[in-house]
A and B are shown apart, each in its own frame.
Chain A
Amino acid sequence: MLRRTLVIVCFLATLSMLTGCDKPVADNAKNETASGTGAKVDGSDSQGSDKQNTSLSGSVAVEGSSTVEPISNRAKEVFNAEFPNVNISVSGQGTGNGFKALAAGECDFSDASRPIKQKELNGCNEKGISFYEVPVAYDGLTVVVNKENDFVTQLSIEQLKKIFREDMAAKTWKDVDPSWPDEKISIYAPGTASGTHDYFVEVIGKKDGKRLRADEQTLLSEDDKQLVIGVQGDPFAIGFFGYSFYEANQDELKSVAIVNPGNNEAVSPSMATIESGEYAPFSRPLFIYVNTTSYQKAEVKEFVDYYLANVVEIVKHARYVPLPESIYEAAKGNIAKDCPGTHYLDSEGNKREGSLAEVFKPENLPE
């Protein structure tokens, strides 16, 4: 028995050695965006460059949205290439949890895929914590169907409501459009803790106080890969998640064009349509919320400043869409002038509606 096991060990070891030499390089078609990022970021990637500043130490804790996690992770990587002694930990456990950690003083800044809510703001105020609100990228919430699905090419908001809302909850595709097949719809959606879920619900039902359906045809998961696999394996499935997940799985999924309620034109999600704002109402901004006390710490200040200085390359590397330069400038201005608070809530606690450019204005900040 001993000998047999040893033989198996040796076999595994040699197999890995034999196959280890030729690491596939051809497989990186999808990583063109990665190699296409700006020279500055790539340059600082190489270890041991003379730009390294070893004198700064300390640690930075980042928590929050798993959607924003790749952006912050990338920021960490390029920052650490330059400041190798700053220990940064990024953990993506959901926007709500990030705000919880921010209010408890457990993180230096939190990642968020939606603006802060009044309840969470109250939590921060109670603990005497204030923050800078910094938008970092756009994400286009993408509705996808199975590759074999040839009947759905575009959907209007009304149709989405029929499919996803608890009060309408269409059983079959035929219930949505009589010309579609009489097959059960299966729904794959992000879990209730994610900002993506909240944002989608906001568009399809918030005004009427309606929520996403919760029945046996609906599968909610915090794991976006599960949603991808789910829609992929089910010809009558529909799902939604962040644009970057769709872009990484383009070959296996089909995105649905969404009819823009503004001009009644169906627009497919893409980097260009999200950036231009044509892809409405499902393009949304992503944020980081920086604790103002933490920002006075040298290592946090360096990191956040670096994050914002290189934000375009960082965001592109993580497959998200950068914001207009003016928004970044406004955010940097808020930090430099020490103007904390959220733009999204007025003094009565009502949420301000509108596009990022409309809401993200200095006059919308609390005094």
Chain B
Amino acid sequence: MSNDSAATADNAAAKQFVRPDFPVRSSAGSKRWQAVVVVGLIACSMISLLTTVGIILMLVFESSGFFADDQIDIWEFLTGTRWTIGQSQGQMYYGIWPLLSGTLRITGIAMLIALPMGLITAIYLSEYATKRVRSILKPVLEILAGIPTVVLGFFAVKFITPYLLQPFADFKTFNATSAGIAVGILCLPLVTSLAEDALQAVPRKLREGAYGLGSTRLEVTLKVVLPAALSGIISAFLLALARAIGETMVVALAAGSTPTYTLDPRVPSQTMTGFIVETFKSESVVPGTLSYYSIYAVAAVLFILTFLITLIGQIIRMRYREVYD
């Protein structure tokens, strides 16, 4: 697109949106009005900040009830490999690792699926696909993105486990793999759309230059476009990772509710989100008891983890965004 046509478009838009009664001069009144508006806008922005502050305060206060308890040793919580809260009314073990490892196992499997597939689909959409293929693939991805996670959870239990997994190996009814696959499917459209955005943000000039030197499409893609879009792609991966870690309904339905500390992908594995939901559903949680506070302690770990990952993703994106602008 040349600069001319862009300017024409701008003019057309300007004609349409600038009203004839547009105020010609800013009066003192309109300045005062603007001050009011700015205060209002700041108030709006405060809400999102307050949400974070609210989450952090809530997690700190409530989980302090957990860590302040005499029975709880924070080191044991962070390093222990046995978790029996919500599992037994007897002797209590509260090492987070079974839940954390459950989350990591499922996230790992999900990423094994979502990252390569998502990236390749994005490359295809951005560099190869004809308009026709695009017009099929895009809505399909949008449908996939819109499918409620509850639905994918049942898909995992009713389809993936019995038809895709159990014929090949000795998988338990609830296992990390089928939940991981479902979460991977869930993250696929997210990776695709973010990675595609990153690929399309690579200036056309770079591609044209490479083509001009006689590169094939594959070479342009792998040697020019991908490196140029790398920061965007990495941040897309990290966002998808955060989404997978935080996914709740799929794991609550398909991963089972036994906290296990193992690498075996065939056995049930409760995740941090799964534990929170299960404890909520049981509603045996009476405020003031350890199992009540443990929800918040686990939620705090979950929050810190996802927060850090998105933060890193942002930093990467911000640091490298300017390069090709």
Contacts and interface: CB of A to CB of B under 8 A. Distances in A.
B100 to A, nearest CB: 16
Contact of B174 (A5, A8, A226): A226
A144 to B, nearest CB: 14
Interface string A206-230: 0000011110101111110010011
B5 interface: no
A105 interface: no
A193 interface: yes
Interface string B108-148: 00000000000000000000000000111011001100000
A50 B139 CA distance: 53
Interface in A1-52: 1, 3-5, 8
Find the residue from A194, A214, A233, A237 having the highest chain B CB count within 10 A: A214
B257 interface: yes
A222 B257 CA distance: 9
B173 A193 contact: no
Contacts of B143: 8
Given A8-B139, A233-B166, A220 B257 contact: yes
A191 B85 CA distance: 11
Given A222-B281, A223-B281, A226-B257, A192 B88 contact: yes
A212 B91 CA distance: 11
Interface stretch (A94-102, A107-115, A272-280): A94-102
A interface: dominant SS: mixed
Interface in A213-256: 213-214, 216, 218-223, 226, 229-230, 232-234, 237
B198 to A, nearest CB: 20
B161 A233 contact: yes
A96 B256 contact: no
A230 B173 contact: yes
B299 interface: no
Interface in A93-136: 93-94, 96-97, 100
A3 B281 CA distance: 42
Contacts, number: 92
A192 B284 contact: yes
Given A219-B256, A229-B173, A232-B173, A100 B286 contact: yes
Nearest to A218: B258
Given A1-B138, A214-B87, A220-B258, A194 B282 contact: yes
B interface: dominant SS: loop
A39 B219 CA distance: 78
B11 interface: no
Interface string B168-187: 00001110000000000000
Contact of B88 (A93, A214, A216): A214
Interface stretch (B71-79, B234-242, B260-268, B307-315): B260-268
Contacts of A291: none
Chain A interface category by residue count: 35 or more
Nearest to B258: A219
A306 to B, nearest CB: 27
A230 B255 CA distance: 11
A77 interface: no
A111 to B, nearest CB: 13
A313 B260 CA distance: 45
Contacts of B89: 192, 201, 211
Interface of A: 1, 3-5, 8, 93-94, 96-97, 100, 166, 186, 191-194, 201, 211-214, 216, 218-223, 226, 229-230, 232-234, 237
Q: What are the 4 closest A-B residue pairs judged by CB atoms, nearest first?
A: A193-B284, A233-B173, A214-B88, A193-B282
25 contacts: A1-B135, A1-B138, A4-B135, A5-B142, A8-B139, A8-B143, A94-B283, A100-B286, A186-B172, A191-B278, A192-B282, A192-B284, A201-B89, A211-B90, A214-B87, A214-B88, A216-B267, A218-B87, A218-B258, A220-B86, A220-B87, A221-B257, A226-B174, A233-B166, A233-B172
